[in-house]
Amino acid sequence: MSSPPQNKVPFDDDPLWYKDAVFYEVHVRAFKDSNGDGIGDFRGLVEKLDYIEELGVTTLWLLPFYPSPLRDDGYDISDYTDVHPSYGSLEDFTVFLNEAHRRGLRVLTEIVLNHTSDLHPWFREARQSRDDAKRSWYVWNDTPDLYQAARIIFTDTERSNWTWDPGSKAYYWHRFFSHQPDLNYDNPSVREAIWSAMNFWLERGVDGFRLDAVPYLVERDGTSCENLPETHEVLKWLRRRLDESYSAKFLLAEANQWPSEVRAYFGSADECHMAFHFPLMPRMFMAMRLEDRKPIVEIMKQTPEIPEPCQWGVFLRNHDELTLEMVTDEERDYLYDEYARDSTMRLNVGIRRRLAPLLENDRRRIELMNGMLLSLPGSPIIYYGDEIGMGDNIYLGDRNGVRTPMQWSGGWNAGFSTADPERLYLPLISNPIYGYQALNVESQRRSLNSLFSWMKRVIKIRKSSRVFSRGSLNFLNPANHRALAYIRELGAEKVLAVNNLSDSAQAVELDLSRFAGFIPIEMFGGNPFPRISSRPYPLTLGPYQFFWFRLRRL
Ligand code: BGC
């Protein structure tokens, strides 16, 4: 078979493009159904690319869309090189990719490295007998005693990381659901097979991968089986393979770890290009509730420098629970109390809610959180639906409550699908506050004052200067702890961000003497503020208000 045609991409080939990217996380299943079967698909996604372009994001991250029994919404892959029939065909994918690229949107897909579905032909074969050629592609043991120091991640459903296989009479290892056996990365054939899956999508033109659950690739007894040097070796090997054949492609590590551990996933710029900053996110929610900047400042101070070509991925919400693994026990209790009083809202070590409900649908808080997301270091990632303030349904199982259909209009099935409502893959949100009749893209497009219109604006401003994506960060230290103020700097470009984390008006005095003589230009309105002198610079901020100023020497 000849390899598929490469796309002509209308953006420059800056290999560091991901540093300036604004990501949009989309689930094909949830976005738009084109054939009326109640499930979103690639053709539907193509129909909505204009919307994504209008929002102003620059890169799409697609959740897994491969053949799968869908017991973990596609993170249980049964074929790495095809499209789930509910979502369309390989040809539909190629059309989508070309259409996205034509609009200047890059596309990031998922590679679930750590495990497959138990229905993947590799595992089906491996479990047939102890002598099977594929046996050593997975991790087996006669007893469940090995690797006891490894924690359980899905604490609500799993009791052990080992599951008994009655057919071949042995235990297999899995860090997630018991239907997701871990691949054995000590076996070079596994590495080759995964690289060949990645290569398959790279040949089709994808721009990069989110590497799911990377800390757990290799196991060693007596360790936590996380972040092992052998795991980093595997990643370095994959990166070498990537660099040998391609340029301007990238890898994003999902390593839900402390910043000092995540640092290793960048290597010496020879491992992943980007990694999520997991610990920052809960601390933003905490700072807002405490009305104190300390949690944010402290975690950023603990965040090590990363190699120049690398970048953090920052986010407020995603398709999973709001994970509280990277906080102390005390902080976790506090966040549960403040954000998930109802125990139905809790899942594993986290909170299964969307952004708007977490913030009690308070527009000022939603704006402030997004403002910080877009002005702190890192490439921001916006979760589909959060740009219009979509709600959730905590009564749906697992994490489904934050994965409901996108709300396009107040009409039939929110404009998502022509199917009977009963047939939708998940029910729409239909309560009086977040229901699609009231909250949808169509109505928000009509109002200049809507969250959607505001998000478009703030993203545009963020993209107007690389200081946000590439600039240094220096916190100011005003006496008023309810204010979080920082300077971002890139060459001559300087931006001052000031955020009021509290529910009441605040006065703050900033030491800006370094910039004496400069004039702050407020970036939303373009208006000049009083000139900075060597004396403390006074500002007043309304509840949850924030300012971005360009500092200009006029
Ligand atoms: C994904 C989850 C998934 C898990 C197991 C995570 O990192 O984000 O949605 O359930 O990996 O694949």
Report the distance separating Cα 74 and Cα 63, nearest Å: 8
Q: What angle, 0 to 180 degrees and rounded to 10, lies between the N-to-C axes of helices 90-102 and 188-204? A: 60
For residue 169, how many other CB atoms are within 10 A of its CB? 10
Confidence of residue 2 (pLDDT cuts 50, 70, 90): very low
Report the distance separating Cα 7 and Cα 249, nearest Å: 14
Phi, psi of 488 (to 5 degrees): -110, 135
For residue 554, the model assigns a pLDDT of: 80
- Across the range 112-129, mean pLDDT stands at 98
254 lines ligand 1 (CB under 6 A): yes
Q: How far away, in angstroms, is 254 Cα from ligand 1 center?
A: 9
Contact 101, 95 (CB under 8 A): no
End-to-end CA distance of the chain: 62
Known catalytic residue: 522?
no
Residue nearest atom 4 of ligand 1, based on CA coordinates: 75
Cα–Cα nearest to 70, from 400, 394, 404, 418: 400
321 lines ligand 1 (CB under 6 A): no
20 lines ligand 1 (CB under 6 A): no
Question: Measured on CA atoms in the order 394, 399, 405, 408, is the torsion positive or negative?
Answer: positive
212 lines ligand 1 (CB under 6 A): yes
| Residue located via tokens 């993947």 | 120
For residue 8, the model assigns a pLDDT of: 47
213 lines ligand 1 (CB under 6 A): yes
Catalytic residue among 33, 41, 110, 212: 212
- For a mutational test of ligand 1's pocket, the pick from 25, 68, 71, 75, i.e. the residue with the most ligand atoms closer than 8 A to its C-beta, is 75
112 lines ligand 1 (CB under 6 A): yes
pLDDT at 58 over 70: yes
Q: Which residue has the higher pLDDT, 3 or 505?
A: 505
- Give the ligand 1 atom nearest the CA of 76: 12
Q: Could you tell me what percent of the chain has a pLDDT over 90?
A: 96
Residue nearest atom 8 of ligand 1, based on CA coordinates: 320
Question: CB under 8 Å to 229, separation ≥6 — which residues?
Answer: none
340 lines ligand 1 (CB under 6 A): no
Q: How far away, in angstroms, is 176 Cα from ligand 1 center?
A: 8
The residue type of 524 is F
- Give the ligand 1 atom nearest the CA of 115: 12
Tell me the DSSP string of 237-298.
Answer: HHHHHHHHH-SS-EEEE---S-HHHHGGGGTTTTS-SEEE-TTHHHHHHHHHHHT-SHHHHH
Q: How far away, in angstroms, is 75 Cα from ligand 1 center?
A: 6
Cα–Cα nearest to 113, from 216, 207, 18, 13: 216
Cα–Cα nearest to 69, from 116, 13, 4, 5: 116
Report the distance separating Cα 344 and Cα 346, nearest Å: 5
As a whole number, the mean pLDDT across the chain is 96
Give the helix/strand (H/E) hosting 484. Answer: strand 483-490
Cα–Cα nearest to 444, from 374, 526, 356: 356
- Residues paired with 500 in a beta bridge: 483
Catalytic residue among 72, 110, 254, 367: 254
pTM, two decimals, is: 0.96
| Residue located via tokens 């095809």 | 82
Report the distance separating Cα 369 and Cα 454, nearest Å: 13
What are 273-320's pLDDT values in tens digits?
A: 999 999 999 999 999 999 999 999 999 999 999 999 999 999 999 999
What are 452-500's pLDDT values in tens digits?
A: 999 999 999 999 999 999 999 999 999 999 999 999 999 999 999 999 9
Residues counted in the chain? 554
Helix (H, G, I), strand (E, B) or coil at 300: helix
pLDDT at 24 over 80: yes
Cα–Cα nearest to 313, from 25, 12, 110, 28: 25
Q: How far away, in angstroms, is 153 Cα from ligand 1 center?
A: 10
Q: Which residue has the higher pLDDT, 458 or 14?
A: 458
Confidence of residue 49 (pLDDT cuts 50, 70, 90): very high
pLDDT at 6 over 80: no
- For a mutational test of ligand 1's pocket, the pick from 65, 216, 320, 400, i.e. the residue with the most ligand atoms closer than 8 A to its C-beta, is 320
176 lines ligand 1 (CB under 6 A): yes
Give, as one character, the DSSP assignment of residue 9: P
Report the distance separating Cα 178 and Cα 188, nearest Å: 24
What are 232-258's pLDDT values in tens digits?
A: 999 999 999 999 999 999 999 999 999
- Give the ligand 1 atom nearest the CA of 112: 12
- For a mutational test of ligand 1's pocket, the pick from 72, 155, 349, i.e. the residue with the most ligand atoms closer than 8 A to its C-beta, is 72
Q: How far away, in angstroms, is 270 Cα from ligand 1 center?
A: 24
For residue 10, the model assigns a pLDDT of: 60
Q: What Cα–Cα distance (Å) separates residue 358 from each residue in 27, 30, 317?
A: 21, 21, 10
What are 383-399's pLDDT values in tens digits?
A: 999 999 999 999 999 99
pLDDT at 526 over 80: yes
**3: exposed, middle or buried (C-beta count within 10 Å: 0-12, 13-18, 19+)?**
exposed
Report the distance separating Cα 434 and Cα 405, nearest Å: 12
Cα–Cα nearest to 511, from 535, 475, 492: 535
Cα–Cα nearest to 27, from 48, 46, 41: 41
Known catalytic residue: 54?
no
182 lines ligand 1 (CB under 6 A): no
Report the distance separating Cα 299 and Cα 318, nearest Å: 20
- Give the ligand 1 atom nearest the CA of 318: 8
Q: How far away, in angstroms, is 73 Cα from ligand 1 center?
A: 9
Report the distance separating Cα 216 and Cα 173, nearest Å: 11
| Residue located via tokens 């004052």 | 449
pLDDT at 1 over 60: no
Question: CB under 8 Å to 214, separation ≥6 — which residues?
Answer: 113, 114, 231, 235, 253, 254, 255, 265, 272
